[in-house]
Amino acid sequence: MENRASFAAIVLAAGQGTRMKSERPKVLHELAGRPMLAFPVEAALSAGATRVVVVVGHGREEVEAAIAARFDERVTTALQSEQRGTGHAARCALPALEGFEGDVVILCGDVPLLEPEAIDALRGAREGVELSLLTCRAPDPKGYGRILRDARGAVVGIREHKDASEAERAIDEINAGVYAAPASFLRESLEALRADNAQGELYLTDVVAAAAARGGARAVTWSIESVGGVNDRAQLAEAAAILQRRIAVRHARAGVTVRDLDRAYIDAGVTIEVDAVIEPGVTLRGETHVGRGARIDVGSVLTDVTVLPGAYLKPYTVASESRVGEGAQIGPFAHLRPGSELGPEVHVGNFVETKKTSMARGAKANHLAYLGDGVIGEGVNVGAGTIFCNYDGFQKHTTVLEAGCFIGSDSQLVAPIKVGEGAYVATGTTVTRDVPADALAVGRARQENKEGYAGRLRRKLKASADAAKAKKG
Ligand code: UD1
Ligand code: MG
């Protein structure tokens, strides 16, 4: 239920973001694995917004789809079909808030680093005035709206960079583009906006002067790191770096050893349990989960992977949509492709590729192998250079290795195929028929030793090389 203290949020996200120079709508560019727009929406929800209206326009279908995929019915969209400025955008959201009489917090879709605490502070500052807004001191205020104050220091309005005089441009207090005001005031003041400015747009910033003239406007000063707008890709990279460090610090404070806070690339959706170790240059993407005490070594890249407690992923392991069991040891240089389900104590070594393959407890493939579409039983040993020949050019087929069997090095298993419990496949065998339990499969030419032949062969080869040289002159 919405009570007096409940608030709604409007997130402006209809602009094209020309300065991004991109086919993609600006607000869908990603940081830490999420579209930029998701961050202000999440901040509003976690600060307690009962509903959020996102104003969409440019790239509307894509933006709407991204919102629907991520949020529940508290988050809806309103259309701004023509981009006539931030004030016009906010106006477009009002019909969606019809009947709502509480406070409205307005945020920009391109300000991804704002914390819910800033929204709390902004709402607190609204007490006794008509409108509160977030500002900050910027060492390089170019491009931002400047905060105008009167002789007593009260906020009287905002001047956009393009409209500002030299003296106004010298002001280093800038507008973060985040405001709180009652719905009734916004309805009135947004209706009254005029496009009499350098850009011929309806500026949302003009409502600040209207509020100042009425019940007053109060600024809450926040850190530049949190309120920086992303307008081009350099700013996107800077924001991503700040966010990445914030995420690393959050995990470190929660009991994860993050060896280098500036070189741990951890997406916002990743979860990590205590005593896990994240070494430098590790990238954890999507919904990856790292269990208690697991160690992810240098240069590993995990996308939507679950790593169970105590597993060790050695340097340069690349894995996606897979599961690594307790105490398993993977890599260095292993490649776990989607559907790899590795049980407890499994070993997968260097230059081993797995795909849609399960390995039960204690199974090992330590060197140079391709294991695709396999079901590998407990304690199986797969020798170096083994290949599961899973594809016939039309279909994929399964290789089943039952518990305790042993696959000699450099064997090929031509699927569909099954090797029974405890069976042996001799080194260098091409297995084309099922191997019964406890049997030995050997499929290679029998070895013959010709005594003294090497010397004779060497003499013969040398003579022919000499003859060729003599002929050449
Ligand atoms: C705006 C502020 C500026 C502030 C800065 C902070 C105005 C006039 N200026 O400038 O004072 O310092 O943010 O980052 O408000 N949008 C729409 N429809 C439109 C225009 C914009 O939805 O017609 C959306 C954009 O998608 C974006 C947000 O509003 O998410 C801000 O627009 P942008 O063009 O980036 O404004 P700034 O020039 O950054
Ligand atoms: Mg902007």
Of the chain, the end-to-end C-alpha distance in Å amounts to 101
Nearest to 294 by CA among 281, 279, 313, 280: 313
What value does the mean pLDDT take over residues 151-177?
Answer: 97
What pLDDT digit, counting tens, does each position of 220-272 carry?
A: 999 999 998 899 999 999 999 999 999 999 999 999 999 999 999 999 999 99
Phi and psi at residue 167, in whole multiples of 5°? -60, -40
CA 53 to chain centre: 24
- At 419-465, the pLDDT tens digits run 999 999 999 999 999 999 999 999 999 999 999 999 999 999 999 99
How confident is residue 473, by pLDDT bands cut at 50, 70 and 90? confident
Task: Note the Cα 34 to chain centre separation in Å.
Answer: 6
* Residue 83 one-letter amino acid: Q
Nearest atom (ligand 1) to Cα of 175: 12
**What's the rounded Cα separation, in Å, for the pair 289 and 272?**
6
| Burial class of residue 166 (count of CB atoms within 10 Å of its CB; 0-12, 13-18, 19+) | exposed
Three-state secondary structure along the chain? CCCCCCEEEEEECCCCCHHHCCCCCHHHCEECCEECCHHHHHHHHHCCCCEEEEEEECEHHHHHHHHHHHCCCCEEEEECCCCCCHHHHHHHHHHHHCCCCCEEEEEECCCCCCCHHHHHHHHHHCCCCCEEEEEEECCCCCCCCEEEECCCCCEEEEECHHHCCHHHHCCCEEEEEEEEEEHHHHHHHHHCCCCCCCCCCCCCCHHHHHHHHCCCEEEEECCHHHHCCCCCHHHHHHHHHHHHHHHHHHHHHCCCEECCCCCEEECCCCEECCCCEECCCEEEECCCEECCCCEECCCCEEECCEECCCCEECCCCEEECCEECCCCEECCCCEECCCCEECCCCEEEEEEEEECCEECCCCEEEEEEEEECEEECCCCEECCCCEEECECCCCECCEEECCCCEECCCCEEECCEEECCCCEECCCCEECCCECCCCEECCCCCCCCCCCHHHHHHHHHHHHHHHHHHHHC
Q: Which domains does the chain have, with CATH numbers?
A: 7-227 (3.90.550.10), 244-441 (2.160.10.10)
How far apart, in whole angstroms, are the C-alpha atoms of residue 172 and residue 288?
41
Backbone φ and ψ for 249, nearest 5 degrees, come out as: -65, -40
pLDDT of residue 4: 45
pLDDT in tens, 96-105: 999 999 999 9
pTM: 0.91
* Predicted pLDDT of residue 1: 39
Residue from 58, 88, 347, 367 carrying the catalytic annotation:
367
User: Strand 173-182 to strand 131-137: parallel, antiparallel, or no bridges (unpaired)?
Assistant: antiparallel
Tell me whether residue 367 is one of the annotated catalytic residues.
yes
As a residue count, the chain comes to 473
> Can you tell me the mean pLDDT for 129-148?
96
The band of 466, judged by pLDDT with boundaries at 50, 70 and 90, is: very high
Six token digits for residue 429:
């065998």
Q: Is the CB of 354 under 6 A from ligand 1?
A: no
Atom index in ligand 1 nearest the CA of residue 143 equals 38
**How is residue 365 written in tokens?**
């493939």
pLDDT tens for 198-212 read 999 999 999 999 999
Indicate whether residue 15 lines ligand 1 (CB < 6 A). yes
Of 364, 380, 375, 377, the C-alpha closest to 397 is: 375
Residue in the block written with tokens 């559907």: 339
Contact 382, 400 (CB under 8 A): no
Q: Is the CB of 59 under 6 A from ligand 1?
A: no
Cis amide leading into 436 (omega within 30): no
- Residue 29 Cβ inside 6 Å of ligand 1? The answer reads no
Ligand 1 touching residue 160 (CB < 6 A): yes
β-bridge mates for residue 323, sequence order: 306, 341
Confidence label for 16 from pLDDT (cuts 50, 70 and 90) = confident
pLDDT value of position 2? 44
CA of 267 to the centre of ligand 1 (A): 26
Closest approach atom of ligand 1 to CA 176: 6
Which one of 11, 54, 86 would you pick to mutate in the ligand 1 pocket, going by the greatest count of ligand atoms within 8 A of its CB? 86
Cβ–Cβ < 8 Å for 135, 173: yes
Distance 302 CA to ligand 1 centre (A): 36
Q: Point out which residues pair with 385 in neighbouring strands.
A: none
Structure tokens at 186: 């916004």
Q: Looking at the CA of 144, which ligand is closest? A: 1
